Amino acid sequence: MIAVALLLAQSASPAVIASGEKIFAQNCSVGYCHGVAGAAGRGPRLRGRSFSEDYLYNVTRDGIPSSAMPAWKGRLKADEIRAVVEYVASLASATESAPPANPMPPGVGPAAIPKFNGPPEAARGHAAFFDPTRDNCGVCHAVGGRGVAIGPELTARALKSPAELVSAVHAERSRHVLTAKLTYGQEFPALLAEQSGSQVRLYDLTSTPPVLRTLARSEVASLSENSSWRHEDFVGSYKPAELEDIAIYLRWAATGK
């Protein structure tokens, strides 16, 4: 702990933060983890949130057990971990909108934000679907190769009318959502990612975006149908008019018109 305190006690220079930004882009902002510049990806949003630097250092160094957050001790040097911590800490005061999360392989700089080339009538829905300032549809669904396909891929899901999506969002229970009960008493709504003889991988829907948890099969007491989870619990920030715009975008993505 003394070594951690000494590392974090050093004032963060612009050079350290810049180094942390580069390391974060190469290792943490990779599409299947955190989003570009701390936006939400498959991992939680970091931009605009405050964490203690001790917490950030410990989580970055040691990871989070039974989650998709790996330990970086032994993979990054101590000064590199500190640089990442300082960079993430600097995002707490960021007020401008972060770019949307885009897939980016390790070792490559921040991904360019692709322009939307569809018609104007679908542009509003596209912007809402991937809106980085909120818990957006793209953290669970993919369209046209963008987003994270935790839930169903929506490229081919043309809707009869915009009102159909509004109705579905507020009525759909989702037959895919399960209740996971663990042997030590924890219970949470989940989507099954994959399972083998020795382990089960579940998306924990308790938080947004969902966290991918890898559990030993012996830790999972049961997986049963969840009758209480509702879509609207995740997308409550969208107004009906925005959902109608999203439906127009999905119809364009599916049919080209």
CB 101 within 8 A of CB 111: no
The residues near 218 (Cβ < 8 Å, ≥ 6 apart) are: 183
- Please give the model's pTM, rounded to 2 decimal places: 0.55
Residue type, 254: A
pLDDT in tens, 147-189: 777 777 777 655 556 666 666 665 555 667 899 999 988 898 9
pLDDT in tens, 44-76: 778 888 888 888 999 899 888 767 788 888 778
Q: How far apart are CA 254 and CA 71, in angstroms?
A: 40
Structure tokens at 126: 């596209």
CATH class belonging to 120-172+232-255 = mainly alpha
Instruction: Evaluate the CA torsion angle 190, 194, 198, 203 in order and state its sign.
Output: negative
For the chain, domain boundaries: 2-93, 120-172+232-255, 178-229
Domains 2-93 and 178-229 share a fold: no
pLDDT in tens, 11-49: 568 889 989 988 887 778 765 578 778 877 767 778 888
Superfamily of domain 2-93: Cytochrome c-like domain (1.10.760.10)
CATH class belonging to 178-229 = mainly beta
